Each structure stands twice: as structure tokens, then as C-alpha cells.
Structure 1
Amino acid sequence: MTLIRNAILITATQELPGALAFTGQHISALQPGNSGHEGHDWHGDLLLPGLVELHTDNLEKHLMPRPKVAWPVIPAIIAHDAQIAAAGITTVFDAIAVGDIDPDSMRMQTLPGCIAGLHQAQQAGILRADHFLHLRLELASQDLLELFEPLVDEPLLRMVSLMDHTPGQRQWSDFDHYRTFITGKRGWSDQKVTEMLDGMLERQVRYADANRRAVVSRCRARAIPVPLASHDDTTIAHVTEGHDDGVTMSEFPTTLVAARAAREHGLGIIMGAPNRVRGGSHSGNIAASELARAGLLDVLSSDYVPASLLHAAFLLQNDGLRLPQAIATVSRNPARLAGLDDRGEIAVGLRADFLRVRVVDGIPVVLETWKAGARIA
């Protein structure tokens, strides 16, 4: 048995000064108050559950650190994994794109090697966090079904999201916002952006609906069902369509109307942690803080900045959430939505995934990350 003492335990319901004991890979006891002089003294630091991340694009950033630059797969995975662990994330769903609205994208060239690399790294025992696959399916992509079919029964697959990033749809319903974003990101002329938009809109009409029907049917027929998420719901119709398709999570709803509809349909509501840290959406959509204050936020996702996850959770205290509630949005809630009942909470019998955190000038700093009773960062 190993004892962590003189800590502030953040359980699902309370902040508890005391100690945590774990035996092997599991939490064996929680002891309130002073536990004497045995064990590791954390000097009053916070003891939080390991974070559970359902949607991060961070691995793709390491696989392609610059436009048109492909990085070796295993070094990219190792760098991503180290960054995840340092951020306090002990379970990560690597969100990998399948299909792209940009036909010139190099993204799909990295897909098979990325999945093979994750298996290789796991088998070699060189990953710190637990890694699962979250496949982000771009429904307006011409070759989506061809790419997705070989991955349907992939053992690492634990989540599928249905996306349509075509300008004029969902996240990019405002064409002016999209023009500003893509021109700044790629430095394209207005004429080139217009030509690209015309092609994207044509492919959306041709492929999106048919691809959605085929993907939903294939996921329903899977031997082990995989959770489905909708992406960037903007209208009540978007949410209703997702609910009818068996969706259980609404990722990054862009409007208050959509978020309210998601709650009425019993969907878990996921918002971006960078949105909360920055104080708003980079694409001009609803702020995560507004949904939190309305009681319409269940889960935070780091999306493109792993370090934002814990930071954003602490900021939720400014939106009316108590610290245990706020931490649940990055631990217990995502774990339960993903069907992981063995982690995500400081409780006896669960896996010993926990963090040592110290708050410095209002910013939570991860000092130690533990997974299954072993320190990984």
C-alpha cells in the first residue's frame, strides 16, 4: 500500500483534506484529516482525478507540424503522449480525421501510419497515457466511406463523430468568418478562397447526406457499439437529426438554441477548453462560459491545446460551478459518457489515476501525474 498524505482530495462531491491510499493499480482508501507522518507528504497540494480527454487534435499537429510537412510517426506519437501526460491527462481519445473538405490536404496520407504507430507504441510499452481512437468523419468528403470501412472494427476505436466543416454549415455558418479565418491561416487571395468554396459546396451537396446514412448504419451494425457524437450543432434540426441517428454527445454546439435542444434530448454537451480560456469562440460562436452559466455544459475538451483542459476547468468556478463540479467536466463526466466506469473519480475501488496540482496566481499547475498507481509525469 502507498499513502499520499496532507493533500486536498477533490472527490466527485467535495474538497476533503486528508490522505489517499492505493494498492497496486487501484485506490484502496480515503482518509480524512491528518494521517500522521507516514507516506508521501503533498504539503497541502490538491489531489485531483486523472483527466479524461475525449477530443484532441494534438496528435495531428505533431504528425504535420507545418503545412505539407509530414513528421515520422513514432516520434510524433511519443511527443504527443508526453505533452498529454504533462497536462495531467491519463486517458486520451486521439481525434483523427477521416476525410477532408480540402481535396489537396495531406491529412489522409498519415491516417494508416498513425493508427499502426499507436499499436506499435502500445505494444512496446512506451506510452504514458491510455490512448483510444476517436475518428472524426468529414461527411462531405468524396472518399469517406472507402477510408472508414477498414477502420470500423479497429480495436482502439471508442468514439465516432459526424462532422461537416463545409462553409455555410454549422461552425462556419457565417461565410465572412470563414473567409477571414482561411485567408489568415493560408494567406490565400479572395479569388482562390472563392474557387475553393465553390468546390466544397458542390461536394457537400453530392456526398454529405449519403455518407451520413451509410456511416450511421455501419456503426449500428458494429459488433461492439461505439458512441456517436454530432459536431458543431447549430439548429434544433441538427440536434434532432443526431438524436434520431443514435448520437449520445453534442460536441461544440455553436448556439444556445442547439445546446438547449441537446439537453432536452439527453445528449452530453461538450465544449472546447480553449474557448473557455480565451473567453470565447475563435469562429464567432457561443462562449463555453455562457453555456456553463446556463447549466448546459457537461464536458470540456482540450481540442487543440492539451494544457487548456485543467486551466479551463478551474475557470468554470467563475461561472458558478463548485470545484468538484468543475473537475468532473474533465474527469468523471467524460469517462462516463465514453463508457469508462473504472476511472475519472477519486473513489475507493477505481483505478489510481490522480494528479498533484498547485494553484499559482490562479493557474493550476500539474506537478505530478499518476496512472494506475505509477507516476508517468
Structure 2
Amino acid sequence: MIFENALVLGPEGLSAQSLAVLDGVICDETDARSFDLSGYWIMPGLIDVHGDGFERHLAPRRGALRDLGQGLMSADAELAANGITTATLAQFYSWEGGMRGPEFARRFLEALKTADLLTDTRVQLRFETHLLADYSAFEELVAEFDVPYVVFNDHIPHDALAKGKRPPRHTGQALKSGRSPEAHLTLLQELHGRSEQVPEALKALAARLTARGVRLGSHDDDTPDVRAGFQAMGIAISEFPESLETAEAANANGAEVILGAPNVVRGGSHSGKVSAAEVIAAGHCHALASDYHYPALKQAVFRLVDDGVLTLEKAWSLVSSGPAKLLGLTDRGTLEEGQRADLVILNPETRRIEATLVNGQFSHLTGGVAARFLG
């Protein structure tokens, strides 16, 4: 295919040029059918480094969906409609149980392994650091499914437990986990009581995973000291740092910082943490993640542009070339010759993505672009 008369996004912004695709790769020219895309923009495909919006497709109601493969196909369609050509599905391995428990993590990985998806779909396992008894089983799971990316979480409500109190929303979380409130509280107290053992155990686990070539990150770093501790373990990705100072410290120490696109779209954190736009304006962000809402990636780009925080090319790099570099994917993220033909065709008037191509194949096609291709 040859796309003619569109504006194509490059490092210096939008420019009028033709773009050819041959055998799934962007090339200089090819003898093929051409399509007039005047009035449209062609942009690099969006690369999502962390998203758990797929959960609602796997369980629209608790326990109601048994065929995870069909749920993943539904998530695939949503990814494509939002211009996401490479997706990283962030699956929990947590004491929280249910869809976030170890058993479901295995079911999810088994389903993903055999799913027929159009989006280039990868996995990130989010491991709760205080599950000391699960370290060996977790490592075996990572090895069995060749998991490329692990992020460490600590969602235990330590403050409440240290004061001998029941954590907020405890009963609801217990029911989601399939435990009684009393059993759930006992588990949390036991995990909290092992806190002093975690740093050394985690350091050793991180070293073993690094030796396997697994990419490692930390989640919700709340202080520069916490981030420095992870950095000392070789954990060089900081997801959603909670303050400007933490993001600044992470960046200064060579870590790559991921922020949530929904935070940008909302104009601030829903939980009272640092504004992502503030961190981006300070130059401490390498990639945006969809987090819990896939449409937020594209929305965040235009919010940053409309608010004058970044130019279009700089903002789009946070959802394309920046994430590609962070994930070690050298074959995508830009529209240069020789790169994979992962791209989106966008209507600049409506800002709707009307076509998504993954490796040169359509995963999404609608609206005026569909009419031009099918006419």
C-alpha cells in the first residue's frame, strides 16, 4: 500500500509526504495500490507499557466469564479502536485474590498464550513483594511463560495495620478475595509482620530475574529513598512515582519514569498524588501508560498539546518512541524506513482514530478511511 497526501508525524512535526508499506514494513517506495488520505494524519502506533483495562473484558461480572480467550479478543478490539498497536497487559500476582490472585494469573497466562489477537500483546506481571512464600512459585511461572516484564508492588495497608486497625474498605476487599473479613485481616497482619525480611529477599529475587533477562520496575514509589532502594537492586523503571521529587530523583539516577495517561486527562491524580502534567513539564517522564483506561493514551497527548505543555511530536513520543525504547523494542515507535508498519490514521477534526495497522495489517478500520479503502 501507498498512502498519499496525508500529513505524517515525524520528529520535527507533521509534514506532507507519501508513506509506503510492503510486507509489514515501512519502505521508501513500492509498486502497489495507492490510497488518497488527504485531510488525515498518519501517526506512529501507540505503545502501551502498562494497562489493566482488559480486566473488565475478562470479568464483566465477578465470576461470570469462564472463557478468557473470548474476553481477550474483546479487549483486542478495544485496543485496536484506540490506536494501540503494542499492548502490555498488567496482570496482578497478589494476596488480593480473585482476578488478582496467583491462580488467576496462571489462567490468564495460559489464555494469552493461545489467544488469536491482532494487537502485538505482551504481559507484565505485578508481583506483591510481601508474598515471601510465593517467591519460588512466581519465578517458576515467569520462566514457564517466558514473562518479559515484572513490576513490584506493595499494596499492603501498613499504616492501619501498624496501628492495630482494620484497613479502609476491608470487608469489600475480603469478599472480592473469597475470604472472610477475619481471615483476610489475619493474612494481612501476617504479611505486614514479615516486612523486615522483604528487602533482602526482594534483592535476591530481582538479581535472579535480571539474570534471566526480565525487565524490572517498581510501582507507586512514594519517596526518593524508596526509589533509591529499588534502583540499588537494579530495578530501573519507576511506574507512577507519587511526587515530583521522586520522579526527579528517579530520572537523575537513570531510571525510566512511567506516568498515567488518565492523570493527564483528568488534570490531576484521582488519589491526590502528583499531577502527571507537572512531572512531564519538568522533563521527568519517558512514557505514558493507559493504566485503567485505553482511550486515555490518545486523549492525554491532545490534552498536553492543547494546554501548551508539549508540542504534538513531543507529546506523541510519550506514547510511541518513548515506550518502545523503555521496552527495548527497536523495530517500532517511529515511521522511519525499515520500521514495522505499526501506525494509526487519525481524523484531525474529530481526533478519532479511523484506522490502525499492526505490522502492516489492519486491526481497526472505520469511518471515512474505510470508505476510501473500500470504495
Range of TM-score over shorter length: 0.7 to 0.9
Moved more, 11-20 or 330-339: 11-20
- The answer to whether the aligner puts 1:136 opposite 2:135 as a matched pair is no
CA distance in 2 between counterparts of 1:45 and 1:90 reads: 19
CA RMSD across the alignment: 2.8
Moved more, 246-255 or 151-160: 151-160
Deviations 1:37-64 (A, max 9, x none): x721112211010111111112333222
Pairing partner for 2:253 from 265, 271, 279 = 265
One-letter code aligned to 1:371: V
Pairing partner for 2:345 from 321, 331, 356 = 356
- The answer to whether the aligner puts 1:330 opposite 2:325 as a matched pair is no
| Percent identity of equivalent pairs | 32
CA distance in 1 between counterparts of 2:319 and 2:340 reads: 16
CA distance in 1 between counterparts of 2:75 and 2:201 reads: 31
- The 3 A distance-change label for structure 1 pair 301 and 197 is farther
Pairing partner for 2:208 from 215, 218, 239 = 218
One-letter code aligned to 1:10: L
Give yes or no for contact 2:106–2:141 (8 Å, CA) kept in 1: no
State the shift of 1:186 in Å: 8.9
- The answer to whether the aligner puts 1:242 opposite 2:230 as a matched pair is yes
State the shift of 1:30 in Å: 8.1
Give yes or no for contact 1:270–1:300 (8 Å, CA) kept in 2: yes
Moved more, 195-204 or 142-151: 195-204
Tell me the TM-score normalized by structure 1: 0.85
**After the TM superposition, which residues 78-117 of structure 1 pair with which residues of structure 2 at under 5 Å, given as runs?**
78-100=73-95, 102=96, 107-117=101-111
- The answer to whether the aligner puts 1:368 opposite 2:362 as a matched pair is no
CA distance in 2 between counterparts of 1:199 and 1:160 reads: 24
Partner residue in 2 for 1:16? 15
One-letter code aligned to 1:370: L
CA distance in 1 between counterparts of 2:206 and 2:45 reads: 32
Deviations 1:247-276 (A, max 9, x none): 221100001110110111011110011111
CA distance in 1 between counterparts of 2:239 and 2:25 reads: 31
CA distance in 2 between counterparts of 1:290 and 1:154 reads: 40
Partner residue in 2 for 1:173? none
Local SS of the residue matching 1:376: strand
Deviations 1:54-90 (A, max 9, x none): 1111233322223444442111111111111111111
CA distance in 2 between counterparts of 1:228 and 1:64 reads: 28
- The 3 A distance-change label for structure 1 pair 289 and 334 is same
Give yes or no for contact 1:166–1:201 (8 Å, CA) kept in 2: no
CA distance in 2 between counterparts of 1:183 and 1:276 reads: 32
- The answer to whether the aligner puts 1:284 opposite 2:283 as a matched pair is no
State the shift of 1:366 in Å: 0.9
- The answer to whether the aligner puts 1:120 opposite 2:119 as a matched pair is no
Give yes or no for contact 1:234–1:257 (8 Å, CA) kept in 2: no
Give yes or no for contact 2:88–2:122 (8 Å, CA) kept in 1: yes
State the shift of 1:108 in Å: 2.9
Pairing partner for 1:53 from 48, 52, 60 = 48
**After the TM superposition, which residues 28-67 of structure 1 pair with which residues of structure 2 at under 5 Å, given as runs?**
28-29=27-28, 39-67=34-62
Which blocks of at least 5 consecutive residues in structure 2 are unaligned? 160-164, 365-375
One-letter code aligned to 1:166: I
Give yes or no for contact 2:260–2:291 (8 Å, CA) kept in 1: yes
Give yes or no for contact 1:277–1:311 (8 Å, CA) kept in 2: yes
Partner residue in 2 for 1:34? none
Pairing partner for 2:328 from 329, 339, 355 = 339
Partner residue in 1 for 2:194? 206
Give yes or no for contact 1:85–1:369 (8 Å, CA) kept in 2: yes
Give yes or no for contact 1:352–1:370 (8 Å, CA) kept in 2: yes
CA distance in 2 between counterparts of 1:286 and 1:201 reads: 29
Partner residue in 2 for 1:172? none
CA distance in 1 between counterparts of 2:216 and 2:134 reads: 16
Which blocks of at least 5 consecutive residues in structure 1 are unaligned? 32-37, 170-175
- The 3 A distance-change label for structure 1 pair 9 and 258 is same
CA distance in 2 between counterparts of 1:186 and 1:274 reads: 27
Give yes or no for contact 2:287–2:322 (8 Å, CA) kept in 1: yes
One-letter code aligned to 1:284: G
State the shift of 1:328 in Å: 0.6
CA distance in 2 between counterparts of 1:183 and 1:158 reads: 35
State the shift of 1:137 in Å: 0.8
